[in-house]
Amino acid sequence: MTDTGRASAHPVQDTHTARRRPLSVLFTEALAPRWRLVALFALCQLAATFTALAQPALNARIIDDGIMAGDTGTIYRVGGYMLIVALVNLVVSLAATYLSAHISASMARELRISVRDRVALLSDAQASRFGVPSLLTRATGDVSNVQVLLFAVLAVAVTAPFILVGATVLSLVQGWRLSPVIIVAGIILSAGIGLFIRQLIPAATLLQKRIDALNRVIREQLSGQRVIRAFSRERTELARYEEANTDLFTVALRMGRWQTALLPTVTLVSGLATVAVSALGAIFIDHGWMRIGQLTATSGYLMQILVAVSTLSVVAGVIPRASASAARIIEIRDCEPSIDGAGPGGQSAGLTAGGVTDRAPLIDLDRVGFRYAGAESPALDSISLTLRPQSTTGIIGGTASGKSTLLALLPRLIDPTAGSIRWNGADATDFAPTEVRSRISYISAGTSLITGTIATNLRIGRTDATDDELWQALDLASAGFVRERDGGLDAQVTPAGRNFSGGQRQRLALARALLRRPDVFVLDEPFSALDTDTEQAIVRAIRTACPTSTIVIGTQRVSSIRNADQIAVIEAGRIVAVGTHRSLLADSTVYRELADAQAVAGV
Ligand SMILES: Nc1ncnc2c1ncn2[C@@H]1O[C@H](COP(=O)(O)OP(=O)(O)OP(=O)(O)O)[C@@H](O)[C@H]1O
């Protein structure tokens, strides 16, 4: 038993997250590898800033030295400069915006990949701790919140501080007497924005949680639509939806109030500052302390300062939400998979090197226990069982007895929290889960198909299978219905295989499992939607097609395992009897009761 296996009791580990600034982590990751593009972008933005700052000064010159002095030469020359400056500004601004979009979209794509890759490694317990709706929001909405912010920062916010400083200095050069107005306006706006951000950060975090909650309700209601209708639960479910929706609305409204207050404040302060500059400027010009061009330039710089502050305030409005989203993305990526894909040394020893040859292995469960995170009692307790090659083992028990948990241990979807599982004597946790799984065909209870065609679903079992091999596997799994389907192997499979019946889905899953011709079959309730004759035909077909394989079938149905070489009866997470159908009918009360209830006669 490795530390790795034990970690399944602590599915979510996010120790790094709290110590780092999530946005700067993600932005650094996005910018550092593409530094050449970033350098080009910086050059464009630098040129855009300089050209923007040059315009009011040139404007002042054309007014004071050209128009007022009646010097047409200066008017043409400075006018020419202004034209060039405006054209350069246009080109570099366009280039900078394009590069901003490129960099932020690339970051979003990479983030989606990294979240997806990490989710694929999480154990079932870890994934269910986050919850599917939250995982979906994190991979989509949260990523796009961060993307929107990076775009805004690069496209507009990154130049705003330079414009602020540059315009303030140049406005002082042009009309220093007006500086008190500019400084007071700047202080009021900065204080307002600071307050705004402080209010928005907690609301933004809450908003993302409320979106998760609403997604959860929608998802449950969509997947459980039939049950809701069958039990006339529409009103209750509508109320649940409305509650989640109202919760989201309340937080969104709280954020909206602050956002609503911000823009008029910025506009009001800007308006008052402009009026004050114009009024004071007029007085200064009257006294001969200032020239008209200088006042125009100072007003121009004041506008640039106010636009920069407004831009920063709009971007500041996006920061809290993006910051909460970045933390949620990093939380996923920092979550160490509780099954890490390698043995104690960090490297898989290799199944073959570990004594597990190409043939089907002997799998030994030695006092195996498993406790779900947070559960009061273990789901499995001291399970000892040997699964032999060329033999079929049935695991039978009532509902919640622990069958699915036991079967999930074999492909290392979870690892034991006590005891060990050995493959030909070597601890299974010494091998990479992918390697262990490459030897196994696993069918989970509630078989899932994915959107695509029948062929793409089957080839999940073996990507290089030919069409003939697909038909062969379908025949073995009694899935002849595919021949009658329009398109045959290319017939469409809708999401979750909803255009197939439960029995058809199970037969397709069995065909997929058979296609791999694995060393080990781990089948969890594989026949629950099939009639007994079909079930028996498939059991025989699996054994004939894969004579050396180790087969394990977990079920509540005696008929599914009555011909198994050994049957383990499981009750409340413990094996209470092991034998054959005949011996258990004689020796095990639990088994006999199951057989009686299902009207299965002795052999
Ligand atoms: N993800 C989980 N988190 C916490 N407890 C779980 C989880 N999955 C199963 N359990 C608990 O573990 C116990 C065994 O469940 P398991 O699904 O293995 O039983 P089962 O025999 O396959 O049941 P069934 O035949 O009804 O599918 C149950 O008490 C169940 O509530």
Q: How far apart are CA 108 and CA 140, in angstroms?
A: 9
Q: What is the DSSP letter of 55?
A: H
586 lines ligand 1 (CB under 6 A): no
Greatest CA separation for the chain? 119
- Using an 8 Å Cβ cutoff, are 12 and 335 in contact? yes
Those residues with Cβ within 8 angstroms of residue 143's Cβ, 6 or more apart along the chain or in another chain:
108, 111, 112, 115, 325, 329
Q: Tokens standing for 372?
A: 């779900």
What SS3 class is residue 375?
Answer: coil
Identify whether the C-beta of residue 564 lies closer than 8 Å to the C-beta of residue 550. no
449-517: CATH topology is Rossmann fold (3.40.50)
Q: Cβ of 75: how many Cβ atoms within 10 Å?
A: 17
Ligand 1 centroid – CA 570 distance (Å): 13
Residue 385: how many other CB atoms lie within 10 Å: 19
Which of 59, 100, 89, 478 minimizes the C-alpha distance to 293? 59
Q: Determine whether domain 18-334 maps to CATH 1.20.1560.10.
A: yes
Q: Which amino acid is at 197?
A: I
Which residue type, as a one-letter code, is found at position 193?
A: I
Q: What angle do CA 476, 480, 486 make, to 5 degrees?
A: 140
Strands (E), 416-491: 418-423, 426-427, 440-443, 452-453
The pLDDT assigned to 9 comes to 35
Is the ipTM, as predicted for this complex, more than 0.85?
Answer: yes
Q: List where CATH 3.40.50.300 sits in the chain.
A: 449-517
> Ligand 1: does its nearest atom lie under 6 Å from the Cβ of 405?
yes
Q: Is residue 338 helix, strand or coil?
A: coil
Query: Quick check: CB of 404 below 6 Å from ligand 1?
Result: yes
Residue where the block lists tokens 């009866």: 569
The residue whose C-alpha atom lies closest to atom 24 belonging to ligand 1 is 399
CA distance 236 to 229: 11
Structure tokens, 158: 């990154």
Gyration radius (Cα) of the chain, Å: 35
Q: How far is the CA of 122 from the centre of ligand 1 (A)?
A: 19
Tokens representing residue 539 in the block: 């059991």
CA 288 to chain CA mean position, Å: 65
Check pocket membership of 556 for ligand 1, CB cut-off 6 A: yes
Q: Where in the chain is the domain with CATH 1.20.1560.10?
A: 18-334
Residue in 245, 249, 248, 250 with CA at minimum distance from that of residue 209: 248
For residue 551, give the nearest of 385, 442, 392 by alpha carbon: 392
| Ligand 1 pocket: which of 403, 444, 576 to mutate (most atoms within 8 A of CB) | 403
Looking at residue 603, its pLDDT comes to 44
Asked whether 409 lines ligand 1 (CB < 6 A), one says no
pLDDT at residue 8, as a whole number: 36
Distance 31 CA to ligand 1 centre (A): 45
Q: Is the CB of 397 under 6 A from ligand 1?
A: yes
pLDDT score recorded for residue 542: 93
10 Å CB burial of residue 265 (0-12, 13-18, 19+) is middle
Determine the atom of ligand 1 nearest the C-alpha atom of 124: 1
Which residues have C-beta within 8 Å of that of residue 505, sequence separation ≥ 6? Answer: 447, 449, 497, 529
Task: Please report which helix (H) or strand (E) contains residue 69, including its range.
Answer: none
Asked whether 446 lines ligand 1 (CB < 6 A), one says: no
416 phi and psi, to 5 degrees?
Answer: -60, 145
Sequence-ordered list of residues with C-beta below 8 angstroms from that of 359, at least 6 positions apart, any chain: 389, 519, 548
What pLDDT is attached to residue 347? Answer: 44
Collapse the DSSP code of 341 into the 3-class scheme (helix H, G, I; strand E, B; otherwise coil) and give the result: coil
One-letter amino acid at 159 equals T
Residue 106 CA: distances (Å) to CA of 136, 330, 570: 19, 17, 52
Q: Which amino acid is at 317?
A: G
Contact 514, 473 (CB under 8 A): yes
Query: How buried is 32 (Cβ within 10 angstroms: 0-12 exposed, 13-18 middle, 19+ buried)?
Result: exposed
Q: With the C-alpha atoms ordered 430, 434, 437, 438, is the resulting torsion angle positive or negative?
A: negative
CA dist., res. 148 & res. 320, Å (int): 12
Q: Tell the residue nearest (CA) to atom 14 of ligand 1.
A: 402
Q: Three-state SS across 214-236? A: HHHHHHHHHHCHHHHHHCCCHHH
Positions of E strands within 485-527: 492-493, 520-524
Instruction: Choose the residue to mutate in 401, 417, 447, 557 for probing ligand 1, maximizing ligand atoms within 8 Å of C-beta.
Output: 401
Instruction: Write down the pLDDT at residue 176.
Output: 82
pTM score, whole prediction:
0.64
Residues of the chain with pLDDT under 70: 1-20, 338-359, 447, 600-603
**Closest Cα to residue 170, out of 341, 251, 52?**
52
At which residue do the structure tokens 């593009």 appear? 37
Q: Which atom of ligand 1 is nearest to the CA of 524?
A: 22
DSSP bridge partners of 554? 395, 524
The helix (run of H) or strand (run of E) holding residue 21 is: none
Cα separation, 351 vs 356, whole angstroms = 5
Q: What is the pLDDT of residue 178?
A: 83
DSSP-assigned beta bridge partners for residue 440: 520
